[in-house]
Amino acid sequence: MTLISSWIDTANAEGCPFPVNNLPCGVASRKNESRKRCVVAIGEFALDLTALERGGLLSKILTASVFEDGSWNAFMATGPDVWRRFRGWLQDALSEQGAGRREQLASHLIPLSDVTLHLPFKVAEFTDFYAGLQHAINMGSIWRRTDAPIPANWTHLPIGYNGRASTIVVSGTPITRPLGQLKFPDEELPRFGPSEKLDFELEIGAVIGVPSTMGRPIDPESADERIFGYVLLNDWSARDIQRWEAQPLGPFQGKAFGTSIGPWIVQRDALQPFAKPLPELRNPLLPYLAGVGTLYDIDLEVHLRPAHCREYTRISKTNHSALYYSSAQQLAHHAIGGCAMSVGDLLGSGTISGLTEGEYGSLMELAWNGSRPLSVGGTERSFLQDGDSLSLSGVARGNGFAIGFGSCEGTILPACPSSIGIRIK
C-alpha cells in the first residue's frame, strides 16, 4: 500500500503520522470550550465528526446518532461492517479524489494545536496481560534467579490480571507516586511509604468493539474482528509494592494507581498492511488459541526527561512484533470460560521487550533492578524520580507514508502528603 493523497496538504507531508491511510479516532475540545467532540486526525487537523453528524452530513452512512456523547463507544457498538463503511467514506471524502467535499468538510477542520485531547473512549474494564516472552524471561531472572525464569503455564496460555479502569488516564495526565507497603529481602517486617522503585511499562492496548454474552465463549475465528483498534499504553508499576504483595495472587496496589493511554485509537484496518506472523511456538497451543490473530510491524520508542532537562533522551526502541501472544489470542482466552466482554474493554499487551538491552520495555529490565543504572541527561536512573517525564511513541512505516499513534506522556508527581492520619516517615 502507498500513500493515499489528500486535498489537505499537511496530510501528504513526508513522515506525517496522520495521513488518509490512518485517520485515528480521538476526542477533543477546543481550548476555550468544555464540550467534547469525536474527531479523526488528518494532517495537522482534527475533523469534527460531532459537527458533521449534527449537520446531517453523515445520515447516509450512520443510521443513528453515535458521536453526541463525546466518546467512541456508541460508534464501536455499531460493529465491523459499519466501521469499514464509515472509514471508507472518510477516506474517499478526504482523499485527493474527494476534493468535491472540500467545501462541506473544510469548515469542520480544527488545528490540532487548538484542541485539548481527552480519553477517546469510556473504558469498561481493563485487563493487563503478560505476553512478551523476553520480558517474562527478564523479570523471572531478576526476581526468581532460577534456571526456569518463566512459569510452566506461560507458553500454554496468555497470563493476565484484572486491573482498574477507574485510574486509566489520557496522555499528559500527571501520575502521583503511590504509597504502600514495602519490604525488601533484608528487612524483617514491612514498612509504609512512597514507592522507591517506580517504573513504566511499554505496551499496546487493544480496544474491544464487539461484546460477548456471559457464559458463552467467543469463536476464536472472530476474535480479531472484535478489536476496534489499538492505543499506546503505559501501565505504571511500583515494583517494590508489587513484589511484596504479589505472593501468590499477582499485581494489585502496585499497578492500580495509574495507567496512561494515548489519545488516538488507530483502527485495526489501518494496521492490516503491517501484519506480521505469530512467533515460533515453544509449545503447541490448544486449538482455541492456535494461530489466532496477528502481530504488527509497529516501531515503539520510550523517551525519558529528568526534571532538570529540556530534552528527552531515548532509552528504548523495540517493535510490537516482539510479543509472543496476539491481542486476539488474549481476547479468545479471556472469554473462553464465559467471561462477558463489553464494548470499551481494554486489553493491555503486557510489556514489549526485544531481545537486546536497548529494546527492553521497562526500567526494571533496562537498569536490571538498579544494578546497571542508565545515564540520562547527565544523571543516572534506576527507577523514576519525582519530576521525571516519560513519553511513549509508536509508528508503522509504509511505502511513503506512516501510521502514527501520537505520544503517550506522563510526569511523576511526589507522593501525596498524609491527610487521613497516616504518618509517613
Domain ranges within the chain, ordered by starting residue? 9-118, 126-413
In the chain, what is the straight-line distance between the N-terminal and C-terminal CA atoms, in Å?
59
Residue 424, pLDDT score: 53
All three cell numbers of 89 = 467514506
Beta-carbon contacts of 52 under 8 Å, excluding residues fewer than 6 positions away, are 58, 105, 108
Q: Torsion angle of alpha carbons 262, 159, 164, 210, nearest 10°? A: 70
Residue 249, pLDDT score: 84
Block means of pLDDT (10 residues each) for the chain, 425 residues, are: 95 97 98 93 98 95 93 98 97 92 94 98 98 95 79 95 97 97 91 96 98 96 97 98 88 95 98 97 97 97 96 98 98 97 98 97 97 95 98 96 98 81 56
What distance in Å separates the CA atoms of residue 21 and residue 9, rounded to the nearest whole number? 14
What's the CATH fold of domain 9-118? SH3 type barrels. (2.30.30)
What distance in Å separates the CA atoms of residue 178 and residue 243, rounded to the nearest whole number? 14
Residue 248, pLDDT score: 83
Which residue type sits at 62?
L
CB 352 within 8 A of CB 203: yes
- Alpha-carbon Rg for the chain, nearest whole angstrom, is 22
What's the CATH fold of domain 126-413? Fumarylacetoacetate hydrolase; domain 2 (3.90.850)
Residue 283, pLDDT score: 96
Asked about 135 being catalytic, the answer comes back as yes
Same fold, 9-118 and 126-413: no
Counts of helices then strands in the chain (DSSP H, E): 10, 26
Residue 310, pLDDT score: 93
HSE-CB of 29 using CA atoms within 13 angstroms? 12
CB 380 within 8 A of CB 363: no
DSSP characters for 304-328? EE-TT-SS-EEEEEEEGGG-SS-HH
What distance in Å separates the CA atoms of residue 36 and residue 299, rounded to the nearest whole number? 30
All three cell numbers of 20 = 488518509
What distance in Å separates the CA atoms of residue 261 and residue 423, rounded to the nearest whole number? 33
Catalytic residue among 118, 135, 303, 320: 135
Q: Single out the residue of 195, 41, 204, 231 nearest to residue 132, CA to CA.
A: 204
CB 400 within 8 A of CB 417: no
Number of Cβ within 10 Å of residue 291's Cβ equals 15
What distance in Å separates the CA atoms of residue 66 and residue 234, rounded to the nearest whole number? 28
Q: In what order do the strands lie in the sheet with 109-111?
A: 109-111, 45-48, 37-42, 25-30, 115-118
Number of Cβ within 10 Å of residue 122's Cβ equals 16
Residue 420, pLDDT score: 47
Which residue type sits at 216?
R
Distance of CA 43 to the CA centre of its chain: 22
Grid look-up 493523497 returns: 5
What distance in Å separates the CA atoms of residue 176 and residue 410, rounded to the nearest whole number? 10
Residue 425, pLDDT score: 52
